[in-house]
Amino acid sequence: MPTRLWPIMHQVSLAGQCVQNAPVGFLQNFDVRCITDLEVSQEQGGITNTKIKNGAIGGIVTPKIIYEEATDLDRLITSTETLLQSGSAPRNVNVEEHYVFRWNNNTISEIHVKIIRAEINAHQKGTMTQRFTVKFVSYNSGDEKETSGNPGYQLGRPVRALDSNRVNPVSALHLWQPAGRGLCTSTAFRPASFGEDALSGCLLEVALHENCSRLREKAVDMLDSLIQATHVAARGNSDYNNVSDGWLEIIRADTPDTGADPPEGSANGTCLGVPARLSIRILFSDAGAVEGITQQVILGAETRVSSVNWQFQCGLTCERRTDLFPLSASVQFIRVPAQRPRPLTRFQINFTEYDCNRNDVCWPQLLYPLTRYYQGEPYSQCVAKGLLLVFFSILAVFLSDPWTRRCKA
């Protein structure tokens, strides 16, 4: 089985920058965004100049590539300056690259690539947010809907969600993926991944004399855009067309009030009770195993919005007409024990000096292999081996020198 493919694309570094010619692991899907400096970036040949083998001894697979032109470049490119020089032709840059690998019997059989590119000035300065996705699809999977596990969730797969109020119920729980200046109006979304705690945020532009009720409505709309769903799937393969197939309703706590301002008002650029933080908590637990692999399911999901008091920051003067109001969103996965802990016995409550969790010496565990707490072997085998050990100990006593002399006497 191949462990990695040839380096065909960029990936993201710890600093958020694009790393060129990074290897792609076999059967490892990912979706990343990174920042590229326009001044040092070159026109990318991408996968068109890359040869990929379809196995250890197989031939070469030719990628099938389609190109699309990018729209709304202001959301992706932060331009600081454009140097105009006579005779300089524009150049193309890849904004997004999407790769789909079809595999069969541990070999690559087909490669489909979609490249979204944009035309910029040859000497344009600034930064660009690029997106790269890789998806491995089984050769005989057809066009069936993608799942996040079968039946339990797989770590890192998107949390499945649906909106029962829409005709097309397929949805997801999202987090922000800031781009450019990090403004909420130009940010992108990424789905929440199962088992991975995450924190994201964006900046909302606010005018000096902003109406507080309008500010609350704008903040609520931005936070609600992340959770346009009514249910989450308990399993990774729950059917979108059947709400009773393991779908759990999302509990929405502390719904913010966007009504009229409180009596103390919003004087001097001050607004009270502005929604600012969205917290998504997801409870999950182990639910058995399939062929020795633990299956994890979601038990429930809750969203909670908290508010802050905001005041326009002027500094020495109020020359600025707009200020930035930060919004944040987080998702937290909380594991629930599969079994309730055993209650303490009366002996453990009254005689704490014999409690193995509070003392260095644990007398009750002197015969630990013979107790129910030992899980290394079946209990019947432990008892049999223990009785055999006792038999050999008694036999050794009878065959010892003092005992034989006593028998002769």
- Domain co-membership, 169 together with 233: yes
- Domain co-membership, 325 together with 372: no
Q: Of 177, 95, 100, which is closest to residue 131 (Cα–Cα)?
A: 95
- 112-161 pLDDT per residue, tens: 898 988 888 777 777 888 888 888 877 766 554 667 888 889 888 889 99
Under the banding of pLDDT at 50, 70 and 90, the label for residue 233 is very high
- Domain co-membership, 59 together with 168: no
Distance CA 152, CA 160 (A): 12
- 14-70 pLDDT per residue, tens: 555 677 667 777 777 777 777 787 776 655 555 655 667 665 556 778 888 898 888
- Domain co-membership, 33 together with 116: yes
How buried is residue 347: exposed, middle or buried, by Cβ count under 10 Å (0-12/13-18/19+)?
A: exposed
- Domain co-membership, 302 together with 167: yes
- Domain co-membership, 227 together with 164: yes
**Phi, psi for 117 (deg, rounded to 5):** -125, 165
Q: Which sign does the torsion angle of CA 111, 116, 119, 124 carry?
A: negative
Out of 115, 144, 173, a domain closes at 144
Structural domain tally of the chain? 3
- Give the dihedral of Cα atoms 243, 138, 11, 98; nearest 10 deg: -80
